Structure 1
Amino acid sequence: MLLHLSDLHFGTEKIACVQALQQFCLEHRPEAVAVSGDLTQRAKFQQFYACKQFLDSLNIPYLAVPGNHDIPLLHLWHRFINPFTRYRLFFGNMESTLETAHFFVAGVNSIRRRYHTRGHISLEQIATVDQVLRHAPANKIKLIAAHQPFYTPPDHEHGVKDCPVLGKIALEAWSQSGLNGLLHGHLHHAGAYDLNQIYMLGAGQPVLDIHAGTATSYRLHHGLPNSFNVIHTDGAVEQYIFHEIDKRFHSAGEITVQS
């Protein structure tokens, strides 16, 4: 299994959720962890440090990408000149790859200082990731981790304003290169959508847009519980939610794929 975490927002973390995730990993031993952005609340040194300590404590290979909260908001000089300095200090390359026995995950940085909330994918990124996917092992589930979703449902309050610029063009290319799914956060709401059907991409396989809730933060949207996703080796997506009574994450069942 692959553990999909998002919107950790260290600086507003719930210690009980942090400990419950450590226990989950100790018991289930996922192949790897993919973290789709917003590791911190305000991109502060101590928040990055705490998040790094937490992810290292899982003793599982992990890949992370930045979210819009991982660049400075109030320090305008750092925001426009060196927005990713602290992120790189702790997590290095923002577009690394991670390969396990069953999964191949590529990180994509969709965060731009001028598109703070919405995000942006460049033509260079589209071409680079396309080549990465084409050279990835054909027998593994190919996934991309990026913070902003590439699709929002019709009832979403902000609509496409939460989807990155050039995201549709990227999908059209990557879906022809064997992409099986994208891992996102940002909305703090779990879901799974078959973009091959929604956008009529013409791919020979489903291309899932997989949204995760907030795993560890008090910043919960619409009263939803803390949660994370597990991607199984058959491609199924299972949601785990945090129970306040016993302070553990429990399965809420497989997420129904919408198209």
Structure 2
Amino acid sequence: MHGKVSSGRRSPIRLFHLSDIHFGLEDRRALDWAEACIARERPDAVAITGDLTMRARHGEFRAACEWITGLDVPVTVEIGNHDMPYFNLFERFFAPFRRFRAIKRMVDAEIDLERLAIVPLQTATRAQWQRFPWSNGWVTDRALADCLAAIDAHPKDTRILVAAHHPLTERRERDGKLLTINGTKAMEALAGRQVMAVLSGHIHDPFDLTADTAAGPLRMIGAGTLSRRIRSTPPSFNEIVIDGDVLRVEARNLDQVPTPEMQIPDVPENAMPPRGTGEPVSPVGAVPPVDPPVH
């Protein structure tokens, strides 16, 4: 039950938004808990917004794909920067998605529910000539055009969620540092189409923010991580409930931390520890000095 489906259920619609699982540094306890929640509660769909693996190794992909295919609900998967081959540059440039083949039907898959569609927007790229490393976001003209065409193909009364890996914030506010190339252009285009929200990951802490664009406001919802690469919050996923035109978010976590304390107040530069001076940290504030070692 993956990909493009028709729910047939009445509102409210319930989605689970997962991100940054990072097999290779996964948190097994958190994964088992999330899997049990999905099996028991059976959300209408699951959106996974990238970084399934830590180093895009074959064994990491096998474990990630096995876990994802065991989720017996509709699933859409976005590609994260950690999912691009790290060590095989030929494969990175000429066959970057080969290791997704076990879940090919779920990758960049649109999910159609009752007057609600989850539409993909690819933000991870093979390379970024103007900066290195290639971990930040880039909304290419083709990726944005594909996303907008998919949105425009739906009836006007369809509620739209866009799923991407990187938050679309283009510049860090305090110093103007570049985060996601063409993010401003993408946000304006999505706001102009009255997208309900953009779902993303990448920074390992949840957030629920509204960006002001030239075309109007755009809601941006970020999921935390289910890995051991925690930042200022414990492992978590978002439960999203859409009831008519109202969207509610709960950052569910094993530590029972309330959602307002889980959500950070701004989008930081990246997911590298520790958060620097001036970077957003949630009230939980458990920022590790370094990541666990990757073997």
TM-score interval, normalised by the smaller of the two chains: 0.7 to 0.9
- The aligned counterpart of 1:19 is 32
Q: Is the 8 Å Cα contact of residues 10 and 217 (structure 1) preserved in structure 2?
A: yes
- Listed one character per residue, the Cα deviations across residues 44-66 of structure 1 (whole Å, up to 9, x for unaligned) are 22212211221222211000011
Q: Which amino acid aligns with 2:86?
A: L
Aligned pair in 2 of structure 1 residues 176, 89: CA closer, same or farther (>3 Å)?
same
Determine helix, strand or coil for the equivalent of 2:254.
strand
Determine helix, strand or coil for the equivalent of 1:104.
strand
Are 1:208 and 2:219 counterparts?
Answer: yes
Are 1:230 and 2:247 counterparts?
Answer: no
Determine helix, strand or coil for the equivalent of 1:232.
strand
Residues 157-196 of structure 1: pairs in structure 2 closer than 5 A = 160-163=177-180, 165-195=181-211
Q: Give me the whole-angstrom Cα distance separating, in 2, the residues matched to 1:105 and 1:23.
A: 23
Q: Give me the whole-angstrom Cα distance separating, in 2, the residues matched to 1:257 and 1:202.
A: 25
Aligned pair in 2 of structure 1 residues 84, 227: CA closer, same or farther (>3 Å)?
same
Q: Which amino acid aligns with 1:225?
A: P
Structure-1-length-normalised TM-score: 0.84
TM-superposed deviation, 1:40:
0.8
Are 1:217 and 2:217 counterparts?
Answer: no
- The aligned counterpart of 2:252 is 240
Q: Is the 8 Å Cα contact of residues 21 and 51 (structure 2) preserved in structure 1?
A: yes
Q: Give me the whole-angstrom Cα distance separating, in 2, the residues matched to 1:25 and 1:152.
A: 33
Q: Which amino acid aligns with 1:37?
A: G
Q: Give me the whole-angstrom Cα distance separating, in 1, the residues matched to 2:80 and 2:105.
A: 14
Are 1:67 and 2:114 counterparts?
Answer: no
Q: Give me the whole-angstrom Cα distance separating, in 2, the residues matched to 1:253 and 1:34.
A: 19
Residues 146-161 of structure 1: pairs in structure 2 closer than 5 A = 146-151=164-169, 160-161=177-178
Q: Which amino acid aligns with 1:118?
A: N
* Farther off after superposition, 104-113 or 28-37: 104-113
- Listed one character per residue, the Cα deviations across residues 25-79 of structure 1 (whole Å, up to 9, x for unaligned) are 1232111000100011111222122112212222110000110000111222322
Q: Is the 8 Å Cα contact of residues 141 and 235 (structure 1) preserved in structure 2?
A: no
TM-superposed deviation, 1:161:
3.6
Q: 1:129 aligns with which of 135, 147, 162?
A: 147
- Listed one character per residue, the Cα deviations across residues 191-215 of structure 1 (whole Å, up to 9, x for unaligned) are 11112x3x3x333xx521111110x
Q: Give me the whole-angstrom Cα distance separating, in 1, the residues matched to 2:161 and 2:18.
A: 14
Q: Is the 8 Å Cα contact of residues 98 and 104 (structure 1) preserved in structure 2?
A: yes
Residues 98-109 of structure 1: pairs in structure 2 closer than 5 A = 98-101=111-114, 103-109=116-122
Runs of 5+ unmatched residues, structure 1: 244-249
Paired residues, what number?
244
Structure-2-length-normalised TM-score: 0.74
Runs of 5+ unmatched residues, structure 2: 1-13, 129-133, 267-295
* Farther off after superposition, 131-140 or 57-66: 131-140
Q: 1:141 aligns with which of 137, 147, 159?
A: 159
Q: Give me the whole-angstrom Cα distance separating, in 1, the residues matched to 2:219 and 2:17.
A: 14
